[in-house]
Amino acid sequence: MKVYIKNKIFSLGGASKVLDENKNPIFKVKGKIFSITRVKKICDLEGKLLYKVRNKWFNWFIHKAYIYDANKNKIATVKDRWFNVKQEYFIEGYKDEIKIEGKFFSLTCNILRNGEIIGTIRRKLFAWTDSFELEANEEDIPFLIALVIAIDNITDKKLKR
């Protein structure tokens, strides 16, 4: 299944659209207007919370974002490295080993779970806002959307966007 994650051009809280291959909305990503930690909520179309993503409040050299489930349990920490020349991101605390292979802001990177590719992220060039194509199995899509949002949050924080 392919989904498209597109940050909205005019959004005070940093909302995004998540569309299927036919350009129909399938999830909502809502941001808070005044949020130092860039809180974003991933919800289904009925508004039911699936995941919440927020950045660590203060970062010295290693930037982090946290992914919470609908019950407010922290299920993963996403972080970069001090000198992140390769633009690598690491996921800790998740029930499985999750790794992103390749540079997130290059054109394509793979998401691996326990060594097996479970998804592919393609960054769209020439878009007015950050725009990504995510291809994965349908049951993995909500968590992987949260993962893409977390990494995008970290990158935006580092670039002060």
Structure confidence by residue, pLDDT tens digits, 73-83: 999 999 876 66
Given a cut of 90, is residue 146 above it in pLDDT?
yes
If one compares 109 and 75, the residue with the highest pLDDT of the two is 75
Question: CB of 48 within 8 A of CB of 70?
Answer: yes
Is 60 exceeded by the pLDDT of residue 130? yes
Decide: 5 and 131 in contact? Cβ < 8 Å. Answer: yes
Residue 62 has pLDDT above 90, yes or no: no
- Looking up residue 14, the CATH number of its domain turns out to be 2.40.160.200
pTM for the whole structure: 0.86
Q: For 15-50, what is each residue's pLDDT tens digit?
A: 888 999 999 999 999 887 666 667 899 999 999 999
Section 91-118 average pLDDT? 85
Task: Determine the structural domain holding residue 8 and report its residue range.
Answer: 2-158
